[in-house]
């Protein structure tokens, strides 16, 4: 079988090697590292998150993060070193930056025709920018579940590993006398984003799945998660037909800082 594990386009080996430090006198005349617009975006996102922000999901200026994402003039060679494609997977999650522990910046490379499972976002903000191709987002309402003693409880209730969030639940699953029967998740909307598009998702808006609608083109997106809750505690995925949730440890990075794991 052909090797399906490939860098999205350019080979990293073709790229110029950055000096380890511009102050490394052993290397002779310091060569300034080449900073591109993608590096500048990463730096601006971190500045916006600030030293004291991003530790919880309150106090984050989502509009400013979206503005920065929108303002980035994308150039494929700048982000390509992080964009590993793997056609044996629906998508790869490639860590670009740890945001000083306050965020995760990821490049996701989507195999044609594939998508993510329906999932929540672990009480974090997610800002997404399409770098290449198209992606279709389907947003679902939260299912309601029968909690202990029959109490009505949403999927991010007290049993969750991370703080619960305020959100509204679909009521379709409610059966007779307070019992909740399995019910298909309600679709709230479906939107296709094109190259350059920016969107935002959080548990307050519901659940979602993202898929690459193209039959033959890879799609690439940039995702900022703050705080990095899913990387630490995982998240939940949901069955579209029954609303049943399962916890998953969403900690796998296909590559980190441009190096494949």
Q: Is residue 251 within 8 Å of 118, Cβ to Cβ?
A: no
Q: Which parts of 192-211 interact with ligand CSD (CB under 6 A)?
A: 210
Q: Does 93 bind ligand CSD (CB under 6 A)?
A: yes
Measured distance CA(147)–CA(167) in Å, rounded: 16
Report the run of H or E that residue 32 belongs to, with start and end. none
Question: 65 or 210: whose CB is closer to ligand CSD?
Answer: 210
What is the sign, positive or negative, of the torsion defined by CA atoms of 17, 23, 28, 30?
Answer: positive
Of 94, 111, 116, 123, the residue at the interface with ligand CSD (CB under 6 A) is: 116
Which residues sit opposite 187 in a β-bridge? 140
Question: 128 or 180: whose CB is closer to ligand CSD?
Answer: 128
Residue 167 marked as a ligand binder: no
Which residues sit opposite 31 in a β-bridge? none
Q: Is residue 257 within 8 Å of 96, Cβ to Cβ?
A: yes
Q: 162 Cβ partners below 8 Å, 6+ apart?
A: 122, 123, 156, 229, 233
Question: 7 or 209: whose CB is closer to ligand CSD?
Answer: 209
Question: 180 or 231: whose CB is closer to ligand CSD?
Answer: 231
Binding mask 145-184 for ligand CSD (x = CB under 6 A): ----------------------------------------
CB of 95 to ligand CSD, least distance (A): 11
Q: 198 Cβ partners below 8 Å, 6+ apart?
A: 66, 69, 70, 127, 128, 129, 130
Q: 51 Cβ partners below 8 Å, 6+ apart?
A: 100
* N-term to C-term CA, the chain: 21
Residue 121 marked as a ligand binder: yes
Measured distance CA(33)–CA(15) in Å, rounded: 13
Q: With contacts defined by CB under 6 A, how many residues of the chain interact with ligand CSD?
A: 6
CB of 179 to ligand CSD, least distance (A): 32
Q: Which parts of 215-234 interact with ligand CSD (CB under 6 A)?
A: 223
Question: 120 or 186: whose CB is closer to ligand CSD?
Answer: 120
CB of 223 to ligand CSD, least distance (A): 6
Residue 119 marked as a ligand binder: yes
CA 209 to chain centre: 11
Of all residues in this chain, which one has the CB nearest to ligand CSD in the complex?
116
Question: 106 or 180: whose CB is closer to ligand CSD?
Answer: 106
CB of 24 to ligand CSD, least distance (A): 36
Gyration radius of the chain over CA positions = 20
**Residues that constitute the known binding site for Fe cation:** 119, 121, 208
Binding site for ligand CSD (CB under 6 A): 93, 108, 116, 119, 210, 223
């Amino acid at each position: 079988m052909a090797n399906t594990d490939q860098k999205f386009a350019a080979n990293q080996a073709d790229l110029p090697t950055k000096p380890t430090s511009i102050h490394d006198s052993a290397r002779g005349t310091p060569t300034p590292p080449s900073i591109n617009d993608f590096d500048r975006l990463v730096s601006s996102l971190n500045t916006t998150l600030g030293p004291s922000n991003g530790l919880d999901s309150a106090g984050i200026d989502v509009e400013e993060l979206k503005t920065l994402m929108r303002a980035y003039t994308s150039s494929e060679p700048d982000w390509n070193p992080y964009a590993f494609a793997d056609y044996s997977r629906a998508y790869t999650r490639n860590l670009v930056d740890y945001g000083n522990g306050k965020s995760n910046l990821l490049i996701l490379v989507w195999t044609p025709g594939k998508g993510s499972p329906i999932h929540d976002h672990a009480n974090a903000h997610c800002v997404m920018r399409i770098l290449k191709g198209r992606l279709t987002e389907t947003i679902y309402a939260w299912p309601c579940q029968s909690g202990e003693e029959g109490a009505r409880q949403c999927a991010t209730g007290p049993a969750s590993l991370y703080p619960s969030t305020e959100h509204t639940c679909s009521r379709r699953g409610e059966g007779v006398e307070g019992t909740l029967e399995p019910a298909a998740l309600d679709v709230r909307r479906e939107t296709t984003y094109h190259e350059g598009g920016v969107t935002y998702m959080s548990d307050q808006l519901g659940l979602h799945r993202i898929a690459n609608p193209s039959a033959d083109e890879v799609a690439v997106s940039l995702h900022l998660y703050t705080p990095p809750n899913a990387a630490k505690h995982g998240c939940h995925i949901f069955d579209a037909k029954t609303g049943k949730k399962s916890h998953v440890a969403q900690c796998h990075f296909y590559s980190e800082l441009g190096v494949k794991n």
